[in-house]
Amino acid sequence: MNTQVLAPEEMRYLRELKGIFHLLRGREVAVDEDLLLEGFYFSAEAHRGQRRYSGDPFISHPVAVVKILAEHSYVDTETLLAGILHDTLEDTDVRKEPVTLMANFGEEVFSLVRGVTKLKPAYFRGKLELQAQTLKRFFFEALTDPRVLPIKMADRLHNLWTA
């Protein structure tokens, strides 16, 4: 298990994640808790210094997405892992080296994360083309692996609650 030192404000979200593990155990849902903790540490490090509009550390959002998934959806380790990592390709330096995400968590998780990640505007002629291509990729990924849908829905739901 990762022995990285967390900032004191990140410890709260590590405790929340461990509470989610307790919830899943109570429902007899088996997940790889050690791998999910690795994902938490990876995401916390990638988002370190970023804040939500509320002022909370950004890691609060991926943990909230995992909680929504755990409470309201069929879950497996890969879905929860993609939930905790879902913004790393979009909002952190991981986007410069996406291979690190695949190397650490595998192609399946990488594909789920990529499926919920918005495309970058620099590659398109305008906002409409960007939105169309982002939706096209999202629907393609969702057809390939339907677990993309609950991850994106949990992400959007938490954003609605906290906007």
Q: Which tokens is 93 given?
A: 């330096």
Task: List Cα–Cα distances, 14 to 38, 77, 97, 150, in angstroms.
Answer: 11, 17, 25, 22
| Residue at token pair 């960007």 | 130
Q: Exactly one of 32, 56, 90, 145 is catalytic; which is it?
A: 90
| Secondary structure class of 51 (helix, strand, coil) | strand
> What whole-number distance in Å separates Cα of residue 81 and Cα of residue 20?
13
Contact in structure between 36 and 80 (CB atoms under 8 Å): yes
Is 91 among the catalytic positions?
yes
Q: Which tokens is 73 given?
A: 């959806």
Contact in structure between 81 and 39 (CB atoms under 8 Å): yes
| Secondary structure class of 121 (helix, strand, coil) | helix
Q: Exactly one of 32, 45, 91, 108 is catalytic; which is it?
A: 91
Q: Which residues are identified as catalytic?
A: 90-91
